[in-house]
Amino acid sequence: MPDSAQYIKTRPQVPSHRPSSRLRRVRSRHVAVIIRILRKKMARTKVNKRKKGNHTADNMLQAIRHYRLGWSIRKTAKEYNVCYPTLQHYIKKM
């Protein structure tokens, strides 16, 4: 008969209720990230940097006059605080 040491029955592997150490580390990292996120201050309100619609009709007319006197479109737009494509559109339209 062969050695009995080879035939010793081992207990079947039963899954434990505790998660593995790797899983615990991953969970703890996630929890730490969530805590860090919750502790941060609320985001500041976004400042509107939109330039659309900032010109007045008078500014636009003066810019068009100066363009017709020989100024470049870009220089005129910068001088009168008018968006370059808008000024180009108005010049084309008039």
Q: Is residue 38 in a domain?
A: no
Q: Is residue 83 in a domain?
A: yes
* pLDDT tens digit sequence for 29-82: 777 777 777 777 666 777 777 767 778 889 899 999 999 999 999 999 999 888
Q: Is residue 88 in a domain?
A: yes
Torsion of the alpha carbons at 34, 36, 39 and 44, rounded to the nearest 10: -100
Place of tokens 């150490």: 21
Enumerate long-range contacts of 35-43, CB under 8 Å, 24 or more apart: none
Q: Is residue 40 in a domain?
A: no
- As for how many domains the chain has, the answer is 1
Expressed as residue numbers, the domain containing 65 is 57-93
Residue 87, classified by CB atoms within 10 Å of its CB into exposed (0-12), middle (13-18) or buried (19+), is: buried
One-letter amino acid at 31 equals V
Q: Is residue 65 in a domain?
A: yes
Q: Is residue 24 in a domain?
A: no
Q: Is residue 84 in a domain?
A: yes
Is the pLDDT score of 25 beyond 70?
no
Q: Is residue 80 in a domain?
A: yes
The pLDDT assigned to 74 comes to 93
d(CA 36, CA 30): 10
Which pTM does this prediction carry?
A: 0.45
